[in-house]
């Protein structure tokens, strides 16, 4: 579960996270605790200062700050709530929550709340969001 791009396991999920964000670091630690042994199947890539690498991967660096991004072993990129759903599905007892988040009405409400919270977090750090 290394932040170093050279140490990322090829068959793992890769979570692109903001390592300069204290809340993001706490969320990572919480996920690793909840995931237990499944956490070994997830690699973490700190996006701080990695704008060029993100662009190479097809991820807009600005979006990477405002939406969680995850890539799977096939290289597919999932963003926002889809990224959370992919991560939750790795934890057997959170699979029902991943399904629930995908329901249209719930998804729309959670997306709105998610973006409001992210904007607040970034604004506190002096980062302007659209």
pLDDT digits (tens, 9 = 90+) for 87-99: 999 999 999 999 9
Give the 3-state DSSP-derived string for the chain, with helices as H, strands as E and coil as C: CCCCHHHCCCCCEEEEECCCCHHHHHHHHHHHHHHHHHHHHEEEEECCCCHHHHHHHCCCHHHHHHCCEEECCCCCEEEHHHHHHHHHHCCHHHHHHHHHHCCHHHHHHHHHHHHHHHHHHHHHCCCCCC
Q: Is 5-124 CATH 1.10.1060?
A: no
DSSP 3-24: SSGGG--TTSEEEEE-TT-HHH
Structure confidence by residue, pLDDT tens digits, 35-68:
999 999 999 999 999 999 999 999 999 999 999 9
Q: What is the pTM (predicted TM-score) of this model?
A: 0.88
Query: For residue 126, what pLDDT band results from cuts at 50, 70 and 90?
Result: confident
For residue 55 the two structure tokens come to: 């662009």
For residue 80 the two structure tokens come to: 């926002």
- Would the pLDDT of 74 be above 80? yes
Q: What is the distance between the alpha carbons of residues 16 and 107, in angstroms, rounded to a whole number?
A: 21
């Amino acid at each position: 579960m290394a932040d170093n791009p050279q140490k990322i396991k090829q068959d793992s999920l890769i979570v692109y996270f903001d390592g300069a964000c204290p809340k993001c670091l706490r969320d990572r630690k919480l996920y690793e605790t909840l995931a237990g042994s499944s956490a070994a199947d997830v690699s973490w890539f700190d996006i701080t200062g990695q704008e060029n690498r993100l662009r190479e991967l097809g991820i807009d660096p600005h979006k990477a700050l405002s939406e969680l991004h995850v890539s799977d072993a096939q290289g597919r990129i999932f963003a926002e709530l889809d990224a959370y759903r992919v991560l939750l599905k790795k934890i057997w007892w959170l699979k029902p929550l991943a399904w629930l988040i995908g329901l249209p009405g719930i998804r729309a409400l959670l997306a709105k709340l998610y973006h409001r919270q992210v904007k607040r977090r970034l604004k506190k750090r002096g980062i302007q969001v659209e």
